Amino acid sequence: MKAVLAKRVDSGTADLSELRDLAAAAGYEVVGELTQTRKEDTAHHFGQGKVTELAELVARTDAGTVIIDNEVGPYQMFNIGRILPGETEVLDRFTLILTIFGQRAQTRKAQLQVELAELRYELPRASAKTSLAKRDERPGFMGLGEYDESREQDIKAQIASIKRELDSIAEKEAQRRAERRDSGFDLVALAGYTNAGKSTLLRQLAAELDVDENAEKHPDLDDVAESQDMLFTTLGTTTRRAELERREVLLTDTVGFIADLPHWLVESFESTLDSVYRADLVLLVVDASESVQEMREKLVTSHDTLHERNEAPILTVFNKTDLLSAAELADKQAALSTLAPNPIAVSGKTGENIDTLRARVEAELPDWEHERLLVPMADDTMSFVSWLYDHAHVETESYEGDQVLLEFDARPAIVEQARAKAAALTPVESA
Residue type, 231: L
Question: What is the arithmetic mean of pLDDT over 138-153?
Answer: 56
Residue type, 388: L
Residue type, 402: D
The alpha carbon of 343 is separated from its chain's Cα centroid by a whole number of angstroms, namely: 20
What is residue 253's predicted lDDT score, i.e. its pLDDT?
A: 84
Model confidence at 366: pLDDT above 70: yes
Q: Are strands 281-287 and 314-319 parallel, antiparallel or unpaired?
A: parallel
Distance of alpha carbon 2 from alpha carbon 320, whole angstroms: 32
Q: Which of 120-124, 303-307, 384-388 has the highest mean pLDDT?
A: 384-388
Binding residues for Mg(2+): 199, 234
Give the CB-side neighbour count of residue 95, counting CA atoms within 13 A.
18
Smallest CA-to-CA distance from 167 within 112, 221, 209 is with: 112
Residue type, 351: G
| CATH architecture of the domain with residue range 183-364 | 3-Layer(aba) Sandwich (3.40)
What H or E segment, with its residue span, contains residue 164? helix 151-182
Class at the top of the CATH hierarchy for domain 2-103: alpha beta
Q: Give the number of other CB atoms < 10 A from CB of residue 76.
A: 22
Rg (CA), the chain: 27
DSSP class per residue in 255-293: PPB-TT--HHHHHHTHHHHHHHHT-SEEEEEEETTS-HH
Helices (H) and strands (E) in the chain, counts: 15, 13
Least confident segment among 56-60, 213-217, 259-263: 213-217
Contact 256, 234 (CB under 8 A): yes
Q: Where are the domains of the chain?
A: 2-103, 106-167, 183-364, 369-423
Contact 208, 249 (CB under 8 A): no
What is residue 25's predicted lDDT score, i.e. its pLDDT?
A: 84
Binding residues for GTP: 192-199, 253-256, 319-322, 347-349
User: What are the backbone dihedrals phi and psi of residue 239, each rounded to the nearest 5 degrees, phi first?
Assistant: -120, 135
Contact 272, 109 (CB under 8 A): yes
Contact 232, 256 (CB under 8 A): yes
What is residue 221's predicted lDDT score, i.e. its pLDDT?
A: 39
What H or E segment, with its residue span, contains residue 136? none
Distance of alpha carbon 33 from alpha carbon 67, whole angstroms: 10
Full-model pTM: 0.69
Q: Same fold for the domain at 2-103 and the one at 183-364? A: yes
User: What are the backbone dihedrals phi and psi of residue 413, each rounded to the nearest 5 degrees, phi first?
Assistant: -65, -35
Q: Give the number of other CB atoms < 10 A from CB of residue 308.
A: 13
Distance of alpha carbon 245 from alpha carbon 102, whole angstroms: 40
Contact 155, 264 (CB under 8 A): no
Binding residues: 192-199, 234, 253-256, 319-322, 347-349
Confidence of residue 233 (pLDDT cuts 50, 70, 90): very low
Distance of alpha carbon 67 from alpha carbon 23, whole angstroms: 8
Distance of alpha carbon 421 from alpha carbon 371, whole angstroms: 14
Q: Is 58 exposed, middle or buried (0-12, 13-18, 19+ CB in 10 A)?
A: buried
Contacts of 128 (CB under 8 A, 6+ apart): 73, 74, 75
Residue type, 324: L
- For residue range 5-59, what is the model confidence (pLDDT) as tens digits? 999 999 999 989 889 988 998 899 999 999 999 999 999 999 999 999 999 999 9
Paired residues of 193 in beta bridges:
257
What is residue 138's predicted lDDT score, i.e. its pLDDT?
A: 46
Contact 192, 285 (CB under 8 A): yes
